[in-house]
Amino acid sequence: MELLKKLCEAFGPSGCEEEISAVIKEEMRPFADEIYSDSMGNLICHKKGSGKKIMYAAHMDEIGLMVTFIEETGYLRCAQIGYLPPHYSINRFVKFENGTVGVVAYEKEHEANLRQEKVFIDIGAKSKEEAEKKVSVGDCCCVMSHFAIMGDKVASKTLDNRVSCYALIRAAKEMKSDNDIYYVFTTQEEVGLRGAGPAAFKIEPDIAICIDVTMNGDTPECGKNSLKLGGGTAIKVMDHSVITGLEVRNKLISLAKENDISYQMEVITGGGTDAGAIHTVKGGVLTGAVSIPMRYIHSATETADISDIENTVKLIKAFGEATH
């Protein structure tokens, strides 16, 4: 779990992925023949081979906040980067890329109808001039959180989607395949699946597999679906952005059965992943997706089951080794 902790704690809101990209690049260096970043900032790790061209995609960006205005009193107004509901960030510490720390707050009279425009960040500045010595309009910050192991569960900020980056790094380290494999750690997924499409357009894969997290259905009063933590890796059928290719979906199911990998089927009507951007590129890409069920998505305490993570590693590894 030390690698996962390292990934979760790295800075990387959408559009500011340089730090997390550098961390992943160092981990992937021994397992790729070439590593480069494209114009969108996607980190592309290419393991050359003579077989099928397979693109694995896991987004490395996280949700966060961006400074939109600095008050004369030194408080910062901010906008969401991705979907970060105001109540999830209130009274939390946030950190800017330069190390500046702040507290997200609001005036109590707005509690009953809390909206983003009523939220502010306190960085301890007494004036606008003092604040501007630490941050500028356009600077990004992310919520700070503990990384915790809770029995067979792990909880942290940014498990969406650093847990999938972790799974993909693990699979790359263990995979033995003659296929031409591109491990792509994408940017700006949280603000509209923006990085994955251009990467797929350039790579032109025969098959793409997206790895991301998905909504649980096993807590009281939640929106019901069939997914539960500890039930296995989730093979996606549908979300709001994609209906996965039947051929690749059936391949994932058969591999799970053959390798005794616990799995469950994912059918949700909301949300979306990089698969939604990849499958329509050029003439279309045969695309599948594997998801890790998660509780409390887009909060500072996202929670996943360690066995689901391990089963995800096994399945994406098996797919790369079995596809011809």
* pLDDT value, residue 86: 82
* pLDDT value, residue 211: 98
CATH architecture, range 2-62+157-322 = 3-Layer(aba) Sandwich (3.40)
Helix (H, G, I), strand (E, B) or coil at 66: strand
- Catalytic residue at 247? no
Contact 214, 160 (CB under 8 A): no
Residue 183 and residue 243: Cα distance in Å, rounded? Answer: 22
Tokens 């919520």, located at residue: 143
Beta strands in the chain (DSSP E): 34-37, 43-47, 53-59, 64-70, 76-81, 93-96, 101-106, 119-122, 140-143, 148-150, 153-156, 180-186, 207-215, 233-238, 263-267, 286-294, 302-305
Q: What pTM, to 2 d.p., does this model score?
A: 0.95
Q: Which of 9, 17, 27, 189 is catalytic?
A: 189
Tokens, residue 308: 């689901």
Contact 99, 135 (CB under 8 A): no
Mean pLDDT by 10 residues, the chain (324 residues): 96 97 97 97 97 97 97 96 87 95 83 78 97 97 95 96 98 96 98 96 97 90 84 96 95 98 94 94 96 94 97 97 84
Domain 64-143 coded CATH 2.40.30.40: yes
Note the pLDDT tens digit of each residue in 245-292.
Answer: 999 999 999 999 999 999 999 999 888 999 999 999 999 999 999 999
Tokens 């996202």, located at residue: 302
* pLDDT value, residue 109: 63
- Domain coordinates of the chain in residue numbers? 2-62+157-322, 64-143
* pLDDT value, residue 113: 73
Cis peptide, bond prior to residue 113, ω within 30 of zero: no
